[in-house]
């Protein structure tokens, strides 16, 4: 059997990596895509200082969980005003990077509804114009800087779309833990648990391969060790660096496998119950782990490398770990009853990401 592992993103990692932006631009100009608070926390000023006249424009109205309603006017304006700018630099969490991935692909008639039809699976969207993306994460968890996918929401229609085109891989990921030093505790926790979820989801995954496993096992072990320490010492640069590296490894793992059942469940929990992504995709991990154990001997082996022996006890230990960080792990804790939970998990298994899960569901859900 042969395996393929492919990730074309050039990653630049380490404290001060931000300073590599001018050389990565190599004479090109860039539009900055970031979140509104970047100005107040001094990040925008810092980027202006680093980029100088290579900065061709700033879009700083990125909202959490980008929605097609806000994205449509932003996208059309971007392509009207910046048709000639070659590069987008996305600075922020998953929402900023995902927004940039939607912005980076354009068409000749400047109509967002064609992109939307592509997202909805009604008609293939083939971009005729596209930008180069440099992704600069300010959180440690999303992995979006090393994957081609963007999660786009349509709250009105209660839908979640996944944008995925050959052109939406970032060219560069610039991972600078100094940018993460001022992250609030809640975002540090949510993004760290998102990374843990990416790593585990790439193990109990039909697309797993030995290379993705190597990244995933390291990411799980690192996150279990580092995240609790980081929550105690949020301004410790070394710990920020280790968590950033763990999240990068998790990103490298799921860039080749995609996510699985826990993420499929998370989309419903975010749409219907408003849970932040990192909580929504991590609270079901112990339950999904229980379903995964025993499905395939080779997956059990890798899960044991990641979570330690005995594997039978791993769901209890994982649950204790997540709860020790203040996150509840049962559906009932989020107001979801046993019957609704059962239906949600079955529905999630039929979703695009749910189908990546190695197991079939025949277990009762402990609500
Ligand atoms: Fe995620």
Distance 205 CA to ligand 1 centre (A): 15
CATH topology of domain 191-356: Dehydroquinate synthase-like, alpha domain (1.20.1090)
Q: How far is the CA of 109 from the centre of ligand 1 (A)?
A: 33
C-alpha 255 – ligand 1 centre gap (Å): 11
Distance 162 CA to ligand 1 centre (A): 12
Distance 250 CA to ligand 1 centre (A): 10
Q: Are strands 149-154 and 159-164 parallel, antiparallel or unpaired?
A: antiparallel
- CA dihedral in degrees (104, 108, 109, 111; nearest 10)? -20
- The rounded distance, in Å, linking the Cα atoms of 64 and 96 is 8
pLDDT given for residue 352 in this prediction: 87
Q: How far is the CA of 266 from the centre of ligand 1 (A)?
A: 9
Q: How far apart are CA 257 and CA 353, in angstroms?
A: 10
CA 176 to chain CA centroid, nearest Å: 17
State the distance from the centre of ligand 1 to the C-alpha of 196, rounded, in angstroms: 9
pLDDT in tens, 156-192: 988 989 999 999 999 999 999 999 999 999 999 999 9
Ligand 1 (ion): which residues have CB within 5 A?
Answer: 194, 281
- The domain limits of the chain are 10-178, 191-356
Q: How far apart are CA 196 and CA 177, in angstroms?
A: 18
Distance, CA of 367 to CA of 283 (rounded, Å): 12
Q: Which DSSP letter does residue 63 get?
A: P
Residue 63 is encoded by which pair of tokens? Answer: 């909202």
Q: Do 193 and 31 contact (CB within 8 A), yes or no?
A: no
Q: How many CB atoms lie under 10 A from the CB of residue 367?
A: 16
CA of 251 to the centre of ligand 1 (A): 9
Distance from Cα 366 to the centre of ligand 1, integer Å: 23
User: Residue 202 C-alpha to ligand 1 middle, in angstroms?
Assistant: 11
In the predicted model, residues of the chain with pLDDT beneath 70 are: 361-367
Which residues are bridge partners to 129 per DSSP?
106
Compute, in angstroms, the gap from residue 10 CA to the centroid of ligand 1: 21
258-288 per-position pLDDT tens digit? 999 999 999 999 989 999 999 999 999 999 9
CA of 264 to the centre of ligand 1 (A): 10
- Rounded to a whole number of angstroms, the CA Rg of the chain reads 20
Angle between helices 261-273 and 285-292 (to 10 degrees): 150
- Is the previous residue joined to 310 through a cis bond, with omega within 30 degrees of 0? yes
Tell me the CA–centroid distance for residue 258 and ligand 1, in Å: 10
Distance 280 CA to ligand 1 centre (A): 9
The rounded Å distance from CA 353 to ligand 1 centre is 11
CA 144 to ligand 1 center in whole angstroms: 9
65, HSE (Cβ side, Cα atoms, 13 Å) = 16
Ligand 1 geometric centre to CA of 296 (Å): 24
Give me the residue label for tokens 């859900």.
365
| Cα angle, residue 256 at apex, residues 195 and 139 outer, rounded to 5° | 25
Q: Which residues contact 251 (CB under 8 A, 6 or more apart)?
A: 142, 143, 144, 145, 146, 147, 195, 198
The whole-model pTM stands at 0.95
How many angstroms separate the CA atoms of 293 and 67, rounded?
A: 36
Could you tell me the distance, in angstroms and rounded to a whole number, from the CA of residue 30 to the centre of ligand 1?
A: 27
The rounded Å distance from CA 198 to ligand 1 centre is 6
The alpha carbon of 278 and the centre of ligand 1 are apart by a number of angstroms equal to: 6
> How many A from CA of 84 to the centre of ligand 1?
33
Largest CA distance in the chain: 59
CA distance 211 to 191: 23
Please give the distance, rounded to the nearest whole angstrom, from the Cα atom of residue 263 to the centre of ligand 1.
6
Q: Please check whether the domain covering 10-178 is classified as CATH 3.40.50.1970.
A: yes
Q: How far is the CA of 352 from the centre of ligand 1 (A)?
A: 14
Dist. CA 191–CA 247, nearest whole Å: 9
The Cα–Cα gap between 302 and 308 comes to 10
Rounded to the nearest whole angstrom, what is the distance from the C-alpha of residue 66 to the centroid of ligand 1?
14
Tell me what pLDDT residue 367 has: 39
């Amino acid at each position: 059997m042969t395996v393929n592992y492919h990730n074309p993103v050039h990653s630049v990692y380490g404290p001060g990596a931000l300073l590599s932006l001018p050389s990565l631009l190599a004479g090109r100009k860039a539009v900055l895509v970031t979140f509104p608070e970047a100005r107040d926390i001094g990040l925008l000023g810092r980027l202006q200082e680093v980029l100088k006249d290579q900065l061709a424009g700033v879009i700083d109205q990125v909202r959490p969980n980008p929605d097609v309603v806000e994205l449509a006017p932003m996208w059309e304006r971007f392509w009207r005003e910046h048709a000639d700018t070659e590069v987008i630099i996305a600075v922020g969490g998953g929402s900023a990077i995902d927004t940039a991935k939607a912005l980076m692909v354009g068409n000749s008639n400047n109509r967002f509804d064609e992109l939307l039809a592509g997202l909805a699976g009604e008609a293939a969207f083939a971009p005729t114009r596209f930008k180069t993306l440099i992704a600069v994460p300010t959180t440690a968890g999303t992995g979006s800087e090393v994957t081609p996918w963007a999660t786009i929401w349509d709250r009105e229609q209660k839908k979640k779309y996944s944008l995925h085109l050959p052109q939406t891989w970032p060219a560069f990921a610039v991972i600078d833990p100094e940018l993460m030093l001022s992250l609030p505790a809640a975002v540090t926790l949510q993004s760290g648990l998102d990374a843990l979820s990416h790593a585990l989801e790439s193990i109990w995954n039909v697309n797993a391969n030995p290379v993705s496993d190597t990244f995933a096992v390291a990411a799980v072990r690192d996150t279990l060790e580092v995240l609790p320490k980081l929550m105690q010492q949020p301004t410790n640069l070394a710990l920020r660096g280790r968590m950033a590296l763990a999240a990068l490894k998790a990103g490298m793992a799921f860039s080749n496998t995609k996510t699985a059942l826990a993420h499929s469940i998370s989309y419903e929990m975010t749409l219907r119950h408003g849970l932040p992504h990192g909580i929504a995709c991590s609270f079901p991990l112990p339950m999904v782990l229980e379903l995964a154990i025993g499905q395939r001997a080779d997956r059990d082996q890798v899960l044991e490398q990641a979570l330690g022996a005995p594997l039978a006890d791993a769901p209890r230990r994982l649950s204790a770990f997540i709860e020790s960080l203040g996150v509840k792990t049962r559906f009932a804790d989020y107001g979801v009853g046993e019957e609704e939970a059962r239906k949600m998990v079955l529905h999630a298994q039929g979703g695009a990401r749910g189908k990546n899960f190695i197991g079939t569901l025949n277990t009762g859900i402990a609500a």
